Structure 1
């Protein structure tokens, strides 16, 4: 290879090119969030723009970067073009997958395109797993961070399983299989692909972000436990055995609790003498695993409670994706990007400062807003809380541009570097709590939007109606109720797949299996109100209804 080509394909130039799609996917996510009312399957689209787009690209790029660092085994620059082609193939697959779902309303066989895209994504990740495994086998034995690379290989092996399940889901499976495969799909992608990559990275990065040392390292044991736990969870999900799934989830939780003990001790030692070490990156990296642990406990309890009826489980998607996935990704990137650009301590400190602006304030809004979002039934409070939480993450995009400009300014001697902080800005936490308290006060607390079944009414004031769910419609789809009268709904599932019904006031039936029925009290009807099936894709295909308050 010529000298010119060698200079073109260095580790740094490859990383810069390969990481560009992450920024593009974040921009696409922001745009989609703004125009989501006109998007079919908008919730699915938003989730997969983030997971398949931003998170998957980040994991592929950074796992390659860290594999070389952890193994002290730099791959030849001649392989860089092929690594970049792998990233291109991955993103082509993601685009095709999302395009397939966007065609839901115009083509009955849209799932064919979605499945093709999922197949391309799977092929790219198999390629990635093979590449990482080959680097692992070629490196010297006894590397202290080798277990992290094993975690990266396991991570890359999980996404093809999740993509395969996603292809089946796009075609709509009969009976309760749709929900069981959805649970397996979520487990493979979140606990497998994201979970392995997160644990592998945190085994090294946690100490780096907090600028301390870990008292002990149990990464190899944690990775081993996760490798055992994941097939158990998947088996329990697909066989509809809640006890098996809960056992696997418990084992998976243990795999995280053990290293969290080391991380907790390290964090406590830093908090005793924090100096400038407690900012946005440290706070988010410390908090994100707690959201994962909470989700695992919730899922295990739900699996036991719904043994034999796992389709009834309501997945904690928001808590895991925002609290764990997004928080960890943005926190780690806020630490890594200045270090990757480099330029010496002063330049890196300046870039880190820009990315960490109002860091503890944003961290408070992110986690406090997410907690309110999950706990409230008030739809408008939920909207405000979600904007505070997600906005604290989205601001990373403009801050990234500002940080790069500031860091380059120091490198080019066009500006002075920032001085190190002498103490954490805990007053930002106070400000964040004050904002959240004001929001709660404005809405009268967590509260609800009203209309629940807790309002006592006389038997003569109840308007009862039976609704059939089948063929992607509710019959009837318009329900007239005298204003002020309480509505009682009996939902009968006449279809061959699971459905549910949720009303705009937060009251919902829960998942109803084929051939079964459930009765709920919606509450007094004082204004027109929508109802819909919450299962992915069903509302977009026509499963909604309107409750009309009569005179």
Structure 2
């Protein structure tokens, strides 16, 4: 089965490849800009109050959410084989509102003004709700398509975020005994819903395309089975942490892991046909491994905690493998593949950009994952500082060539 390919050819009605390339030149700045801010926060964190909260939200709300909104729209049009809109004004407005909201949320954490954050969360909610309406409209207008399940993943993921946003806004202004449960609910709904469901749906077609091989025959069936399994797992986790029934929450994490493994089986079959041999393919592979590690650590944290406050205090152990190991690596891997293709300019330029983003990839990947493995272990503070610097260096090794690729594409005819 041939996967849906992200190619240089523009969809019908997009105004040609230059129009699409111009759009991606503009919007690619958004996740890259938040990554630059994340580097800046890392460098000045000793003098920045609340830097952990700020760094986490820069990655999830700034980088990941922008990337998901941009690329889920792209893949929705691709898998439904629907023509691109004649105008990008609607998408541009949604991204503008989204980022005004993101800036408000981030600013509230820096200046300590909760109502700025609540207003920002409202804007983010409005942008994501508009994105959901757009997805539904695209799905209803499209003819039956083989990979519609990808869009169903996006709908479920978007619904999860719309549940998680108000809970996060509520925590900005209320601090009572319910806060640990709300924090656990907010974190799990956003991480397992918004991010993980989106990734699982996208990899159905993206993974064999990255490998430049055929999709396994069972991939579509696995995705259709995996989606309700993941939704059931997310529901169980949400109810379990809110009611503080740890066994139910852990059962939900087991269902989530099952959904991941259902997706991984056809992905492994594709990898046996064409061995991964690039930064995108190995970065995504490593990310999948860290996702399973994060789910295991999460289950242990919930089962061993005496109460919700204890689980919330220990949740940092889950965030490192989840945020850096899974979210960070899947984002960089996907962007390293998608950016060269989406910026247009013909096969030669795509190969040149891909080679630039792949440069020194074995060293970067090995350094990142070795540093992560050390960081998650109980190690002395100076060891953690060293590993943090290695992770920062690996991120810069992606950001510098990515910035060069983006600037060079703006100068191309």
Alignment TM-score, normalising by the size of structure 1: 0.68
Q: Distance in 1 between matches of 2:110 and 2:391?
A: 26
- Name segments (4+ residues, structure 1) moved above 4 Å: 5-9, 404-409
1:381-460 equivalences under 5 Å are 381-404=383-406
Q: Distance in 1 between matches of 2:15 and 2:295?
A: 47
1:344-383 equivalences under 5 Å are 344-383=346-385
Give deviations 1:304-349, integer Å, cap 9, x for gaps.
333x723322221011000000100001100111111233333211
Specify the alignment match of 1:324 in structure 2.
326
Matched, 1:236 2:250: no
Distance 1:394 1:258, change over 3 A: same
Specify the alignment match of 1:288 in structure 2.
287
Structure with higher Rg: it is 1
| Structure 2 SS opposite 1:375 | coil
The structure in which a higher percent of residues are helix is: 2
Indicate if the aligned counterparts of 2:164 and 2:190 stay in contact, CA closer than 8 A: yes
Matched, 1:121 2:130: no
Q: Distance in 1 between matches of 2:63 and 2:290?
A: 20
> What is the aligned residue count?
393
Indicate if the aligned counterparts of 1:376 and 1:382 stay in contact, CA closer than 8 A: no
Q: Distance in 2 between matches of 1:328 and 1:207?
A: 15
1:92-171 equivalences under 5 Å are 92-104=100-112, 110-141=113-144, 143-171=145-173
| The 10-residue stretch of structure 1 (383-392 or 339-348) with the greater mean CA deviation from structure 2 | 339-348
Specify the alignment match of 2:89 in structure 1.
81
Matched, 1:32 2:41: yes
**Offset of residue 170 of structure 1:** 1.6
Give deviations 1:452-507, integer Å, cap 9, x for gaps.
xxxxxxxxxxxxxxxxxxxxxxxxxxxxxxxxxxxxxxxxxxxxxxxxxxxxxxxx
Matched, 1:57 2:56: no
The structure in which a higher percent of residues are strand is: 1
**Offset of residue 226 of structure 1:** 1.4
**Offset of residue 14 of structure 1:** 3.0
Distance 1:102 1:248, change over 3 A: same
Unmatched tracts of structure 1, length 5 or more: 105-109, 272-276, 413-551
Give deviations 1:328-387, integer Å, cap 9, x for gaps.
000110011111123333321111110011001100011111110111421011011121
Q: Distance in 2 between matches of 1:72 and 1:386?
A: 43
Q: Distance in 2 between matches of 1:400 and 1:12?
A: 15
Q: Distance in 2 between matches of 1:205 and 1:7?
A: 23
**Offset of residue 241 of structure 1:** 0.5
Alignment TM-score, normalising by the size of structure 2: 0.90
Indicate if the aligned counterparts of 1:132 and 1:149 stay in contact, CA closer than 8 A: yes
Q: Distance in 2 between matches of 1:338 and 1:13?
A: 13
Matched, 1:219 2:223: yes
Indicate if the aligned counterparts of 1:348 and 1:407 stay in contact, CA closer than 8 A: no
Give deviations 1:265-289, integer Å, cap 9, x for gaps.
3223333xxxxx5021111111101
| The 10-residue stretch of structure 1 (251-260 or 5-14) with the greater mean CA deviation from structure 2 | 5-14
| Structure 2 SS opposite 1:75 | coil
**Offset of residue 67 of structure 1:** 0.5
Q: Distance in 1 between matches of 2:168 and 2:299?
A: 23
**Offset of residue 161 of structure 1:** 1.8
Distance 1:103 1:235, change over 3 A: same
Distance 1:279 1:6, change over 3 A: closer
Indicate if the aligned counterparts of 2:24 and 2:343 stay in contact, CA closer than 8 A: no
Indicate if the aligned counterparts of 2:353 and 2:405 stay in contact, CA closer than 8 A: yes
